[in-house]
Amino acid sequence: MEYVKLSNEVLAPVLGIGTFMISPADTVNSVYSAIKLGYRLIDTANAYMNEEAVGQGVKRAIDEGIIKREELFISTKLWPTLYENDAVVEDTLKRLGMDYVDLLFIHQPAGNYMAGYRQLEKAYKDGKAKSLGISNFYDDDLETLLKESEIKPHVMQLEAHPYCTEKEVRDRVKEFGTVLMGWYPLGHGDPGLVKEEIFGRLADKYRKSNAQVVLRWATQMNFITIPGSKNPDHIRDNGDIFDFALTDEEMAEIAKLDGTKKYYNATKEEVAKYANMHLPFES
Where residue 139 falls (left for φ over 0; alpha for ψ -120 to 50; beta otherwise) is left
Distances from the Cα of 65 to the Cαs of 4, 35, 36, 61, 68, in angstroms?
A: 26, 11, 10, 6, 7
Percent of the chain's residues with pLDDT above 90:
93
How distant is the alpha carbon of residue 61 from its chain centre?
A: 21
For the cut 90, the answer to whether the pLDDT of residue 13 exceeds it is: yes
Is 81 a residue whose pLDDT tops 90?
Answer: yes
Phi first, then psi, for residue 89 (nearest 5°) are -70, -45
Note the pLDDT of residue 283: 63
The stretch 168-186 carries a mean pLDDT of 96
> For residue 135, what is the enclosing H or E element?
strand 132-135
The reply to whether 117 belongs to the active site is no
Contact 176, 146 (CB under 8 A): yes
Determine the average pLDDT of the residues in 257-271.
89
Contact between 153 and 133 under an 8 Å Cβ cutoff? The reply is yes
User: For 123-134, what is the HEC assignment?
Assistant: HHHCCCECCEEE
Give tens-digit pLDDT for 186-243: 998 899 999 999 999 999 999 999 999 999 999 999 999 999 999 999 999 999 999 9
Of residues 277 and 177, the one with the higher pLDDT is 177
Average pLDDT rounded to a whole number, residues 34-52: 97
pLDDT mean over 75-96: 97
Give residue 274's pLDDT band: very low, low, confident or very high (50, 70, 90).
confident
Range 57-69 average pLDDT: 98
> How do strand 11-13 and strand 3-5 relate by DSSP bridges?
antiparallel
Classify residue 9 as left (phi > 0), alpha (psi -120 to 50) or beta: left
pLDDT at 67 over 90: yes
**Catalytically annotated residue among 48, 100, 124, 184:** 48
Of 3.40.630.10, 3.40.50.11540, 3.20.20.100, 3.40.50.2300, the CATH number of 3-275 is: 3.20.20.100
Q: Flag whether the pTM goes above 0.85.
A: yes
pLDDT at 271 over 90: no
- The answer to whether residue 9 scores a pLDDT higher than 90 is yes
What's the rounded mean pLDDT across residues 85-98? 97
In the chain, where does DSSP find H-type helix?
Answer: 24-36, 51-63, 88-96, 113-125, 139-148, 167-173, 191-194, 197-206, 210-220, 232-239, 248-255, 268-275
